[in-house]
């Protein structure tokens, strides 16, 4: 919350050892490995040439984007660093995107900017778009307090860890028998040693060792002294039943935090993974928000820098775009087909009744029924048929 990221980064690493948070986290960043990207030009002839050159000179690997997406999801912010490399003949400067380790970053409230340590041990400011730094974020003001899944997920991690530990303790308490022995009447339990200390006497120590061997499974049979007694104590409490409920509840909470829904768990809460189309259907706002934050960071802090260095004018900079699949494409196609069928039926009925059907009429009907573009009538198809009238007196 203070903008010191060293311990939060270590916490995020530890949280990935939890099965619920591991699954939710990787479902969140899975689209980064599955959705294609393209480099779009600015819409001019010169822009097309700049975009072609940028494809061979700007290096943004899929692995770097996946790491940035994961850091962005956990902490609400991610930092990219640009490495500049001249080509072999020195005619071009290539740019390579890397992810800067967030644990070395902090927020300086006095200067109101992010800083990071260097190898020399000094702090330098992180300025987005200065040619070296890129700040990926979804909100402008303190994004690590707004969009960081780590904030609620850390509570889930603690609750899940304690529930698992308590469940293991309860299993041990219920699974291991407790036996209390009683020595025969008249046999003393303790003896006084030569140095004045008190300890179990030989009879009691032997009896206790026999009980421990039986409970631990070391001994399959034992001889009990005459007159002694053994009582088995069983844990009859049913509080252990709360642990599976708590663990399942935390799994659902993890999915809610990272994906905005627990639908990927299935009805029984144990579905293996999620298909990308289903993931986009149930948590599109989360995933699209990640895509837009990364696009915004690269399109304002990476490609304009490359274009300014190599082409002299950042106005012709290309833009990276994620080719996000539309989960409603099938439904939209069916809806558009139904609209076109209704339009064709309406035009046919007008012709059959002798009404005037020209291009202006078709355009109006298409706009009314939401069909775009409007169909074009064939040449000579527009005609008006006179409507026969009944004879008058």
Predicted pLDDT of residue 273: 47
Distance of alpha carbon 301 from alpha carbon 78, whole angstroms: 13
Give 311's DSSP letter. Answer: H
Compute the CA torsion angle 54, 58, 61, 66 (nearest 10 deg).
Answer: -90
Q: Answer left, alpha or beta for residue 269, where phi above 0 means left and psi between -120 and 50 means alpha.
A: left
Mean pLDDT by 10 residues, the chain (393 residues): 94 90 89 89 90 93 94 95 90 94 94 90 92 94 92 87 69 68 79 80 83 78 80 67 69 83 53 48 73 94 95 92 76 82 87 84 87 80 54 64
CB 103 within 8 A of CB 6: yes
Beta-sheet pairing, 178-182 with 229-233: antiparallel
Predicted pLDDT of residue 270: 45
Distance of alpha carbon 197 from alpha carbon 190, whole angstroms: 10
CA-to-CA separations, 28 to 31, 71, 275, in angstroms, rounded: 7, 11, 12
Distance of alpha carbon 295 from alpha carbon 37, whole angstroms: 10
Predicted pLDDT of residue 265: 52
CB 68 within 8 A of CB 136: yes
Predicted pLDDT of residue 80: 96
The label of the residue with tokens 């984007």 reads 65
Does the pTM of the predicted model rise above 0.85? no
Return the biggest CA–CA distance within the chain: 144
Q: Among 98, 106, 95, 104, which Cα is nearest to 131's?
A: 95
Burial zone of 215 (CB within 10 Å; 0-12 exposed, 13-18 middle, 19+ buried): middle
Tokens of 18: 């939890």
Predicted pLDDT of residue 177: 65
CB 117 within 8 A of CB 129: no
Q: Residue 331: CB partners within 8 Å, gap ≥ 6?
A: none
Q: Residue 181: CB partners within 8 Å, gap ≥ 6?
A: 207, 208, 211, 228, 229, 230, 231
Q: Residue 365: CB partners within 8 Å, gap ≥ 6?
A: 343, 346, 347, 374
Q: Residue 41: CB partners within 8 Å, gap ≥ 6?
A: 47, 48, 50, 51, 318
Q: Answer left, alpha or beta for residue 77, where phi above 0 means left and psi between -120 and 50 means alpha.
A: beta
């Amino acid at each position: 919350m203070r903008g010191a990221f060293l311990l939060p980064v270590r916490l995020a690493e530890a949280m990935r050892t939890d099965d619920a948070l591991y699954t939710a986290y990787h479902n969140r960043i899975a689209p980064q490995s599955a959705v294609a990207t393209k480099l779009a030009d600015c819409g001019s002839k010169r822009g097309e040439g700049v975009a072609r050159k940028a494809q061979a000179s700007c290096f943004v690997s899929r692995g770097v984007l996946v790491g940035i997406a994961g850091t962005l999801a956990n902490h609400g912010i991610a930092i990219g660093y640009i490495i500049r490399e001249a080509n072999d003949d020195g005619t071009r400067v290539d740019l390579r995107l890397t992810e800067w380790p967030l644990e070395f970053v902090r927020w300086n409230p006095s200067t109101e900017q992010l800083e990071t340590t260097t190898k020399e041990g000094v702090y330098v400011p992180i300025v987005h778009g200065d040619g070296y730094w890129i700040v990926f974020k979804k909100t402008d003001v303190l994004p690590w307090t707004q969009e960081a899944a780590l904030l609620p997920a850390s509570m889930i991690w603690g609750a899940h860890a304690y529930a698992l530990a308590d469940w293991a303790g309860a299993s041990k308490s219920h699974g291991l028998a407790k036996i209390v022995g009683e020595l025969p009447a008249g046999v003393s339990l303790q003896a006084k040693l030569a140095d004045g200390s008190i300890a179990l006497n030989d009879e009691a120590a032997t009896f206790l060792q026999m009980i421990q061997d039986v409970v631990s499974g070391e001994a399959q049979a034992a001889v009990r002294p005459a007159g002694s007694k053994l009582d088995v104590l069983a844990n009859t409490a049913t509080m252990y039943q709360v642990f599976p409920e708590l663990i399942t509840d935390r799994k659902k909470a993890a999915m809610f935090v990272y994906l905005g829904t627990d639908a990927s768990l299935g009805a029984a809460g144990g579905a293996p993974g999620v298909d990308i189309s289903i993931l986009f259907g149930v948590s599109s706002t989360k995933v699209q928000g990640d895509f837009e934050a990364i696009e915004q960071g690269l399109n304002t802090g990476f490609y304009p820098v490359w274009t300014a260095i190599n082409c002299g004018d950042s106005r012709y900079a290309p833009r990276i775009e994620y080719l996000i699949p539309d989960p409603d494409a099938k439904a939209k196609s069916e809806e558009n087909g139904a609209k076109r069928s209704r339009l064709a039926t309406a035009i046919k009925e007008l012709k059959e009744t002798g009404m005037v059907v020209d291009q202006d009429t078709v355009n109006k009907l298409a706009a009314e029924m939401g069909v775009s573009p409007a169909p074009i009538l064939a040449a000579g198809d527009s005609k008006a048929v006179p409507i026969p009238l009944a004879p008058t007196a």
